[in-house]
């Protein structure tokens, strides 16, 4: 089978999965922590009666238990990315969920899990999120948990908007819960004492030396604990009311608060703390949206999704199909019409820093109007380059608004972030509850590269000041080995592929040293089978860590080579051969590793259609590029 056949089969498979309305929507998978947190949520909503926990959702909890156990590693622990090593927080969450759901602590699987947790540092090694969740059931000392005061919403300088969008959407409801110090009951006799490592410190340790921001925030945290006990109650009530108003306002035109799992979970808990009973419309809707993330069927089993990704999936699929030599016009028209209907036309959190900008852009999920994101917006614009809707004037006006919005969201450093602009108060990374490694949303090379390509395709010239500043940002952020860091995909292959596409679209010559260094980086890490693979461990190590080949990362590497002008290397041909050779008869590819990034070093994603859309894009791009070369030679 040749490249042309592989393209046709991949396209036919992709088109067959298009929804009648014109969109694509693939499952988004994560790790077992979501199923563990689901069980914690059920314990919160349905507390034990007379010490006995018998929730009405017992059948689903049993399926969640089975799903968690199915992911247990041979050493007893649980990982945070496919085929990765055991991780302390995922392992503690799993132990809690399994034990509270009825798996005996004497079960051999639990004994292995307990031993692995102790090897990893015990319960004291848990991050702030695990500590706080356990403290809600009096299973971890609250004094050893970081404070999350609701008064944070009263701070000046738009303080909550200096945090990343996902952090503020989590922190606001969580501060409401934290402020009530609920101490919900666990089943009678339930304890996690066996997970404490003897001799390990309970409280976070200070940095060595006289001064550090971490030490300052730890001191501030001690002050906040005193404040919580002695501050005037009217201030606390006022802060909680402000947080409540903020949270409820952000429910509007959203599939749950922030439309992501953790903020949706804490929103339900916050409403409960605030006194909204189970029959209140807010509670009903919040629980409905949270439970909507659940997949529970015979074909796929039981798991919780971190969020939905229809706009992202749709824009990627449309762009991949549009890059074919003969794009499916009718299919793309339906897609364009659907994407046009999803444009955000209200001001969201981003407008705090850009108040005078007309709203536009696209979110990641079906409905999340407070949080359109820059990456999705750029991807939709790339799809629109060849996906034309039924109303040409409507689409042109929409594209014009989106381009203006993207230009307004460029940071002072010349780059683009995900949801906000200039969200880079690095000092906030030292806040005690910021150990989820995602307190900020700074500019990153992968999004910047995609935005540059989108803006150029929308008609901006390479001499436009925004393009020149974006190019400057990418050239400054190139790593010494020639790669670029990938914030939203694993990792250096992803960042390099998008940076190269952005630079080449902006007119940077393929002969420039930065381009050639990037190509050498890509070629240096090709696997013997012709493909490419990179481990999530690259985020821990701060450099490329090899992994078995995956179709998505192979496609990224090929797109990087093609963007850099490589049309003849053995690396390119071997990579193309890998994709053609590993395609399945139904036109799809198999991928068994996590190649998407949520929070580096903390949370990873498996986009279940990356394995199909990116290979199609790479093969189509290769086919077109080599056709152009052959024509020029002839």
* Active site amino acids: 375
Residues 504 and 512: their CA atoms lie apart, in Å, by 10
Residues 572 and 574: their CA atoms lie apart, in Å, by 6
Q: Quickly tell me which residue has 């990362």 as its tokens.
A: 553
Helix ranges (DSSP H) in 429-550: 445-457, 465-477, 492-505, 513-524, 538-541
Residues 429 and 431: their CA atoms lie apart, in Å, by 6
* CA nearest neighbour of 129 among 97, 170, 163, 169: 170
Residue 409 token pair: 């969201």
Residues 263 and 589: their CA atoms lie apart, in Å, by 33
Residues 490 and 599: their CA atoms lie apart, in Å, by 11
The total number of residues shown for the chain amounts to: 634
Contact present, 250 and 169 (Cβ < 8 Å): yes
Residue 63 token pair: 């399926």
Sign of CA dihedral 629, 452, 497, 382: negative
Residues 231 and 74: their CA atoms lie apart, in Å, by 50
Name the phi and psi angles at 102, rounded to 5: 115, 0
Contact present, 567 and 558 (Cβ < 8 Å): no
Residues 189 and 184: their CA atoms lie apart, in Å, by 14
Residues 418 and 599: their CA atoms lie apart, in Å, by 12
Question: Can you say whether residue 234 is alpha, beta or left, with left for phi > 0 and alpha for psi between -120 and 50 degrees?
Answer: alpha
3-class state of residue 483 by DSSP: coil
Q: Which long-range contacts (CB under 8 A, 24 or more apart) does 475-478 make?
A: 475/503, 475/514, 477/415, 477/445, 478/445, 478/514, 478/517, 478/518
* CA nearest neighbour of 39 among 71, 66, 9, 2: 66
Residue 95 token pair: 């132990």
**Helix-then-strand count for the chain, H and E:** 23, 7
Largest CA distance in the chain: 84
Residues 177 and 132: their CA atoms lie apart, in Å, by 10
Pairing of strands 532-534, 28-29: unpaired
Residues 373 and 380: their CA atoms lie apart, in Å, by 11
Contact present, 556 and 493 (Cβ < 8 Å): yes
Residue 330 token pair: 């009718």
CB atoms within 10 A of CB 58: 14
Angle in degrees, 0-180, between the axes of helices 445-457 and 392-408, rounded to the nearest 10: 140
Q: Which residues contact 145 (CB under 8 A, 6 or more apart)?
A: 128, 131, 132, 135
Residue 14 token pair: 């992709």
3-class state of residue 545 by DSSP: coil
Residues 240 and 177: their CA atoms lie apart, in Å, by 10
């Amino acid at each position: 089978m040749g490249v042309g056949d592989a393209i046709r089969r991949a396209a036919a498979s992709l088109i067959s999965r298009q929804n009648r309305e014109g969109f694509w929507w693939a499952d988004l998978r994560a790790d077992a922590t979501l199923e563990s947190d689901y069980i914690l949520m059920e314990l919160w909503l349905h507390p034990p009666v007379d010490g006995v926990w018998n929730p009405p959702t017992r059948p689903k909890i049993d399926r969640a238990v089975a799903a968690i156990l199915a992911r247990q590693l041979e050493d007893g622990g649980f990982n945070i990315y496919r085929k990765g090593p055991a991780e302390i927080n995922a392992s503690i969450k799993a132990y809690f969920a399994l034990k509270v759901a009825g798996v005996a602590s004497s079960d051999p699987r639990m004994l292995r899990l307990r031993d692995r947790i102790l090897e990893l540092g015990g319960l004291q090694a848990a991050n702030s999120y695990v500590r706080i969740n356990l403290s809600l059931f009096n299973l971890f000392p609250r004094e050893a948990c970081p404070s999350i005061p609701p008064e944070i919403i009263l701070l000046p300088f738009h303080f909550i908007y200096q945090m990343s969008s996902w952090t503020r959407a989590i922190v606001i409801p969580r501060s409401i819960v934290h402020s009530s110090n609920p101490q919900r009951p666990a089943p009678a006799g339930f304890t996690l004492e066996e997970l404490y490592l003897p001799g390990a410190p309970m409280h976070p340790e200070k940095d060595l030396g006289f001064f550090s921001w971490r030490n300052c925030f730890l001191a501030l945290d001690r002050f906040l604990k005193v404040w919580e006990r002695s501050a005037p109650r009217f201030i606390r009530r006022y802060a909680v009311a402000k947080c409540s108003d903020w949270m409820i306002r952000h429910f509007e035109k959203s599939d749950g608060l922030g439309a992501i799992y953790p903020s949706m979970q804490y929103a339900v808990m916050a409403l409960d703390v605030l006194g909204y009973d189970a029959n209140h419309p807010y509670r009903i809707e919040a629980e409905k949206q949270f439970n909507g993330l659940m997949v529970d069927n015979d074909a796929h089993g039981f798991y919780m999704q971190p969020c939905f990704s229809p706009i992202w999936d749709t824009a990627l699929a449309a762009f991949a199909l549009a890059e074919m030599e003969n794009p499916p016009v009718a299919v793309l028209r339906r897609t364009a019409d659907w994407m046009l209907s999803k444009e955000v036309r209200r001001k969201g959190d981003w407008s705090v820093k850009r108040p005078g900008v007309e709203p536009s852009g696209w979110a990641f999920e079906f409905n999340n109007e407070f949080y359109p994101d820059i990456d999705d917006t750029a991807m939709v614009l790339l799809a629109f380059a060849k996906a034309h809707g039924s109303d040409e004037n409507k689409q042109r006006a929409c594209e014009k608004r989106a381009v203006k919005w993207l230009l307004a969201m460029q940071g002072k450093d010349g780059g683009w972030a995900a949801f906000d602009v200039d969200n880079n108060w690095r000092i906030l990374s030292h806040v005690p509850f910021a150990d989820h490694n995602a307190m900020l949303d700074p500019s990153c090379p992968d999004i910047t590269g995609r935005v540059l390509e989108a803006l150029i395709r929308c008609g901006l010239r390479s001499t436009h000041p925004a393009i020149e500043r974006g190019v400057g940002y990418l050239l400054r952020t190139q790593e010494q080995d020639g790669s670029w860091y990938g914030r939203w995909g694993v990792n250096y292959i992803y960042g390099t592929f998008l940076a190269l596409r952005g630079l080449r679209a902006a007119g940077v010559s393929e002969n420039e040293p930065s381009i050639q260094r990037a190509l050498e980086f890509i070629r240096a890490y090709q696997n013997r089978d012709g493909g490419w693979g990179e481990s999530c461990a690259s985020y821990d190590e701060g450099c490329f860590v090899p992994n078995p080949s995956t179709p998505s990362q192979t496609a990224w590497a090929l797109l990087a080579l093609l963007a850099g002008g490589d049309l003849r290397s053995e690396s390119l041909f071997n990579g193309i051969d890998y994709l053609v050779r590993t395609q399945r008869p139904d036109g799809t590819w198999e991928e068994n590793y996590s190649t998407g990034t949520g929070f580096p070093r903390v949370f990873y994603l498996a986009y279940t259609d990356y394995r199909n859309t990116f290979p199609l894009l790479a093969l189509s791009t290769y086919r077109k590029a080599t056709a152009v070369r052959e024509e020029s030679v002839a």
